[in-house]
Amino acid sequence: MAVKNYYYALGRRKSSTATARLIKGKGLITINDKPSNEYFSESKYLITKLAKPFETIDMPGKFDVTVVVKGGGSNSQVDAIRLAIAKSLVVFDPELRATLKKADLLGRDPRAKERKKFGLKGARKQRQFTKR
């Protein structure tokens, strides 16, 4: 949904939820009020993964992105942010949908942790069988 001067979307992965706002600017990505390279300081790979939607449509440095992300680990947070950015780019220009979909950036990864079942040690692990 386009609201005033920014474009907004939501992205999810595992237990992470990210909301992204795209504003025309210089290409800064701010995550939870911190620059992206400070928020994901442990891995350069995660930072390059964030910029993939912009590289796919050949618009690096055209938008400033403000993201609020909660839950999960750093890898699932990056996937949630990337999905939110891609969805908000589609809100900005619906013509980009085909390009982003072809690059597999608009699909939500549905895999999540399976719940623990009653009588078992985990989701599937059982007690060791003893014959005697």
- CATH architecture of residue range(s) 2-102: 2-Layer Sandwich (3.30)
Token reading at 49: 């993964």
Q: Give pTM, 2 decimals.
A: 0.86
Low-confidence ranges of the chain (pLDDT < 70): 1-3
DSSP 99-127: HHHHTT-S------PPPPPTTSSSSS--P
Task: Encode pLDDT of 56-90 as tens digits.
Answer: 988 888 899 999 999 999 999 999 999 999 999 99
Residue-wise burial string across 83-105, b where 16 or more C-beta atoms lie within 10 A, e elsewhere: bbbbbbbbbbeeebeebbeeeeb
DSSP class of 7: E
